[in-house]
Structure 1
């Protein structure tokens, strides 16, 4: 029984080291330039596509995402929209966007 515990611990250590190695060696490609379309930048981050949009007075993250994603048959998940917006704009909270500034908004 003691040897099974040791084997299990060794396997966990090896998996942990392989995971660390993979995290450190796989990165963002150097040629990942944003595409320009209609004056807005579009790029993909992992499985997330985004568009750079200038925020106007009275706009919210939700209203802009609803305009960009014409999905009448699907309900958009508000917490997911906020999380995706904050992932695309790391130093900005979804509830505190400034009019006149450009931000990246997720496309679904």
Structure 2
């Protein structure tokens, strides 16, 4: 019984490998369009883009504050909006440690 199950798993693995290599996974053109739109929207803003690795205890606000020490006051909603534009599909309230994110460095 055990040999039969292992044989079936191996056969299914090779079938899926064959289908993946011959058919492949289609790349959605919507993903490329979203990237292009966000880049053009971000390029019109007055900030540079910096890639930062998140350390334990870091939040969007603390990282932006470290990058922009010259800012005396700031609009938190604007900061979160700019972060979300740079990192679509990322929850600004749930950053993961040891991952890289893009942050705005304001001019």
| TM-score tier (shorter) | 0.5 to 0.7
Question: Structure 1 regions of 5+ residues with no counterpart?
Answer: 1-27, 33-43
Cα displacement (A) at 1:49 = 1.8
Alignment RMSD (CA, Å)? 1.9
Higher RCO (C-alpha 8 Å, min separation 6) = 2
Q: Which has the larger radius of gyration?
A: 2
Counterparts of 1:18-33 in structure 2, within 5 Å, are none
Question: Structure 2 regions of 5+ residues with no counterpart?
Answer: 1-35
Could you list the structure 1 runs, at least 4 aligned residues long, displaced by more than 4 angstroms after superposition: none
Measure, in 2, the Cα distance between the counterparts of 1:46 and 1:95: 25
Q: How many residues align?
A: 66
**Matched residue, 1:60:** 59
Length-normalised TM-score, structure 2: 0.56
Query: Which structure: greater strand fraction?
Result: 1
Measure, in 1, the Cα distance between the counterparts of 2:86 and 2:43: 8
Cα displacement (A) at 1:96 = 1.1
